[in-house]
Structure formats: structure tokens, C-alpha cells
Amino acid sequence: MSALSKKRLFPYYASIFTILFPAIESSVGQIVIEGMNLTLTCNVTGFPQPTLIWVKETSNKENIKLTPDKAQFGANSVTIQNLTMADSGTYICYATNDIGKGSAKKINIKVLGKPHVRVQRPVINSAPNIEAVLECMVQEEPLADIHWYKDGELLNITKFKIETIEQNSTLRVTPQTEDEFGVFTCKKADTSTGKCLVLFCNVPGAHGRKVTGRSRRFGVLFRFSTQQERDLAESSTSK
């Protein structure tokens, strides 16, 4: 055996480090409602551990760094609370380490104003066989579907004349009996955002449900079929 082969062989250990440039995967664009909270995420890989920086682009393409007074920062996320229309825009997350800097795709955020439902006349005075016109407008972008209810029940559109043009909806009612008077509500579809309209029967001395209150506040005599309707009329017109 050669002298070389007789030498004792010792294992040799080496440390191997993989140094990675920051790589980022980010949230996609979103449409949110004013007043909500929004969380954006960036999933980052790299070695040494990258540090995240969040910025928002301005109209002149300058970047404004998000700060703790405006947002809450997580390990790989940022949360903007109580959004306003001014928070709409383009957000970017940057990741930096000792090797370099990586940036995510731009995240486009659009903040929509809260849906606002408005009625032209909260109190409508009519009589049996007299057509009453109830009008409602929902201010929202994009345009919202508008649904009508009577006393809490969704109206059967085959029995009523409903015309909706863009943000304006008109309900035409020709009550035949006193039971067809009551509280009508127009609502933005799939939400609780709505406004009430009270349709009163203006027939002094007419028979039907018990009269619990009267008012000459508007220069005409209103019949209140229920205490709830009277309270609703007073609250609607006091705003």
C-alpha cells in the first residue's frame, strides 16, 4: 500500500450560503367602499431577510412612503383604516436587502363613496283609486340595483309599476283599499341602506285600521294607520 493510501483520511466540511435577490408576490387590485379597512400583502423571499417599504404613487408619479400615522404594518402586509376617496390610487411594495431591491407589481385601489339613498318626498298623501308616485335615488358608483318593499316585504314587480333609470327609481301605486297604504322602502340591493316613504290615506272619517294620530303640519289632513307610521313621518320630515 502506498504511503498516501496509508494516510488517514479526514472529512472536509464546507458551509454553502445561497444569497437571494428579493422576490415578491403581491395583492391584486381591489374596489372597496369608503369607511372600510383595506389590507394589502406582499409575500417576500430572499436572503438576507428583506425589509418591506410601502409607497403610494401620486398624480405626478412621485412616490409617497406610507407611515405609521396613516397605516398599520405587519410582517408582510399593510392595513389602511377608515378609507376615504383620497385613498384611491396605485400602491407599490418594495423589498430591499444587502443584495439589492425588488418591487412588486402595482396594486390599483379604487375607493367608492358610501351608497346614499335619497327620497324626494318622505310623506305622500293619497286616496283610494288615486295614483301615487314614490321617487327614490341611490347615489353610488357603479350604479346600484334598487329594490322596493312594502311593510318590510319585497314588492311583486308584476303588480306595481316600477321604472328605474340609472340612479333614479319611481314606484307608481294606485291603492284600492286602505290595506294598500303603508310604509314603502327603497333599498340598494343586497344591503340595508334604504329610505322609507309613508303613503297615507287622506280620507277623513274613512273606515279601516284604527287612527292613532293626526297632523296638520303640512297643511293637509293625514291619517296615521299605525303609531309606527306617525313616528316615521315625524322623523322623516324633521331631517
68-97: per-residue pLDDT in tens?
A: 988 999 988 999 999 988 899 999 888 888
Q: State the pLDDT confidence band at 207, using cuts at 50, 70 and 90.
A: very low
Q: CATH 2.60.40.10 in the chain, residues?
A: 20-112, 116-237
Q: State the pLDDT confidence band at 224, using cuts at 50, 70 and 90.
A: very low
What is d(CA 161, CA 171) in angstroms, rounded to the nearest whole number? 6
What is d(CA 66, CA 71) in angstroms, rounded to the nearest whole number? 7
Burial class (CB in 10 A: 0-12, 13-18, 19+), 184: buried
Q: State the pLDDT confidence band at 227, using cuts at 50, 70 and 90.
A: very low
**Measuring CA to CA, which residue among 174, 167, 158, 161 is closest to residue 189?**
167
pLDDT at 6 over 60: no
Q: Which pLDDT score, from 0 to 100, does residue 206 have?
A: 41
Q: Which pLDDT score, from 0 to 100, does residue 56 have?
A: 93
Q: Which pLDDT score, from 0 to 100, does residue 226 have?
A: 42
Strand partners, 206: none
What is d(CA 150, CA 159) in angstroms, rounded to the nearest whole number? 12
What is d(CA 216, CA 222) in angstroms, rounded to the nearest whole number? 7
pLDDT at 104 over 80: no
Counting every residue written for the chain, the total comes to 239
DSSP string, 138-167: EE-SS---EEEEETTEE--TTTSEEEEETT
19-70: per-residue pLDDT in tens?
A: 566 777 777 888 888 888 999 988 888 888 888 889 999 877 778 999 998 8
pLDDT at 215 over 90: no
The fold of 116-237 is Immunoglobulin-like (2.60.40)
* More confident call, 204 vs 191: 191
pLDDT at 229 over 50: no
Mean pLDDT over 92-110 rounds to 84
Q: Grid coordinates standing for 200?
A: 297615507
> In terms of pTM, does the model score above 0.95?
no
7: left (phi over 0), alpha (psi -120 to 50) or beta: beta
- Kindly report the CATH number that applies to the domain delimited by 20-112: 2.60.40.10
Q: Which pLDDT score, from 0 to 100, does residue 116 have?
A: 75
Q: Which pLDDT score, from 0 to 100, does residue 228 have?
A: 46
